[in-house]
Amino acid sequence: MPSTLEHATYTRPWLYPRQEAALFNPARYAVVEASTKAGKTVGCMVWLAEQAMLGRPGHNFWWVAPIYPQAKIAYRRLKAALPAVLVAANETELTLNLGGRVLWFKSADKPDSLYGEDVYAAVIDEASRCKEEAWHAVRSTLTATRGPVRIIGNVKGRKNWAYQLARRAESGEAGMAYAKLTAQDAIAGGVLTQAEVDDARRVLPAHVFQELYEAAPSDDGGNPFGLTAIRAAVGPLSAGPPVVWGVDLAKSLDWCVAIALDAQGTVCRFERWQGPWDLTVAKLVALLGAVPALVDSTGVGDPILERLQAQPQARVTGFPFTAPSKQRLMEGLAVAIQQGELRVPDGPIVQELESFEYAYTRTGVRYGAPEGLHDDCVCALALAVQHWQHRPAAWEFL
């Protein structure tokens, strides 16, 4: 085996035709919207390695991912793929030195740290999850070199820079190329099975499957309820009597929220406060009375639930939040909103519904508020809807 890059013989690894065409083209900017496991990452690893091989000693090549652990995954995969005799790996700096050409694996989390270097080719991985400022920084590093860039990722709504750039590329803007790789392309290419895609379609919410496997964006930038459907659900607070309550518990940083629905599925009571647990228990005892309630029993909520259930007229049921249980709860709320079964008053509830989002993780789909915002109203509403959807008819006449 040769000990230097100059004496090595290279053969490009096999890529299926659409995968190869999406990345290996003369465009300076290639934007690829792709299904999960469609081969976009592997293809870009091959592309960036080839760019480095065609470069000169002292040239820098970048792989940029949303966060450091994702960049480290690509680093480890490419390190394992390249002949060890030709590569000097630096685990501390996360670099691969290929005959003096240095491949860097970086995080987009702090865009200011990406300025300053001259880069000869770059990949922005999971672009729809990277900050737009990171794209600006990477583009600045390519200025002096006029280096090419490959921008890849799953689709995540329409309200992000990657989606907008993809539309420019798709329209045929000069210097740009666009490609879409769906699950069906991956199946045809032999890198994904129909059975796996069918199973994903069965177990995932439709809007998640649509983005993750069909590379088709939702209208609402990752909002699981649909902004149009949320606005259609807005109406006045009902004066009718409560038939169910949903309660999300919190003490200080978050809000304790109690939401009641009437027999028609309209919010008829809405209470939101912060305070010590004794105040919360007293307030809930007065609010709930003998009306059936579904109460957050996660963590510190469990002893509060016991105190509420000890009341003579209490009809309180606990609901422990886990990632799977929250996913099911939010999917039930999404169905109620999208099918027009629910009416909510404008204000904090609607604001939280509109800012709520989902994100893909290795273990499933995570639902919650963006960093720095709250989802207490959404959780309380979802609990109320869950209890309302499964209520016995007799409850409405008590």
pLDDT of residue 1: 43
Sorted by where each begins, the domain ranges of the chain are: 5-214, 227-397
Cα 45 from Cα 222, distance rounded (Å): 28
Global pTM value = 0.61
- β-strand partners of 360: 365
The two structure tokens encoding residue 63: 């792989």
DSSP string, 97-111: EETTEEEEEEESSSG
Q: Residue 285 phi/psi, 5° resolution?
A: -60, -45
CB contact at 8 A, 282 and 260:
no
Please report the pLDDT score of residue 8 as a whole number.
76
Where b means 16+ CB within 10 Å and e means fewer, 352-385 reads: bbeebbbebeeeebebbbeeeebbbbbbbbbbbb
Q: What is the mean pLDDT of residues 134-160?
A: 93
| pLDDT at 2 (0 to 100) | 54
Q: Which two tokens stand for residue 58?
A: 């002292």
DSSP code, position 159: S
Kindly report the average pLDDT of the chain as a whole number.
90
* Residue 251 confidence (pLDDT) above 70: no
Confidence at residue 52, expressed as pLDDT on a 0 to 100 scale? 96
Q: Identify any residues that bridge with 180 across adjacent strands, giving them in sequence order.
A: 33
In this predicted model, what pLDDT tens digit does every residue of 153-177 receive, in sequence order? 998 877 789 988 998 898 888 999 9
Stretch 360-366: mean pLDDT: 70
d(CA 68, CA 117): 19
Nearest to 386 by CA among 346, 326, 322: 326
Which residue from 245, 288, 314, 291 is spatially nearest to 397, judged by alpha carbons? Answer: 291
Whether the per-residue pLDDT at 387 is higher than 70: the answer is: yes
Q: Cα(313)–Cα(326) distance, rounded to whole angstroms?
A: 28
| DSSP 8-state secondary structure symbol assigned to residue 27 | -
2-29: per-residue pLDDT in tens? 556 766 788 999 999 999 999 999 999 9
CA-to-CA distance for 359 and 252, rounded, in angstroms?
A: 26
227-397: CATH, from 3.40.50.300, 3.30.200.20, 3.30.360.10, 3.30.420.240 = 3.30.420.240
Tell me phi and psi for residue 288, to 5 degrees. -75, -40
User: Which tops the pLDDT comparison, 305 or 300?
Assistant: 305
Pair of tokens at residue 201? 């379609």
The predicted structure's pLDDT at residue 343:
96
CB-hemisphere CA count at 13 Å for 203? 10
219 falls in which pLDDT band (50, 70, 90)? low
What fold characterizes domain 5-214?
Rossmann fold (3.40.50)
The pLDDT assigned to 275 comes to: 87
Asked if the model's pLDDT at residue 218 lies above 90, the reply is: no
Please tell me whether residue 36 adopts helix, strand or coil conformation: coil
pLDDT digits (tens, 9 = 90+) for 81-123: 999 889 999 999 999 999 999 999 999 999 999 998 899 999 9
Summarize pLDDT for 314-329 with one digit per residue, the tens.
899 999 998 889 988 9
- pLDDT, tens only, 16-64: 999 999 999 999 999 999 999 999 999 999 999 999 999 999 999 999 9
With 90 as the cut, is the pLDDT of residue 357 above it? no
Over residues 330-359, mean pLDDT: 89
Class of residue 286 by CB neighbours under 10 A (exposed 0-12, middle 13-18, buried 19+): exposed
Three-state DSSP state, 38: coil
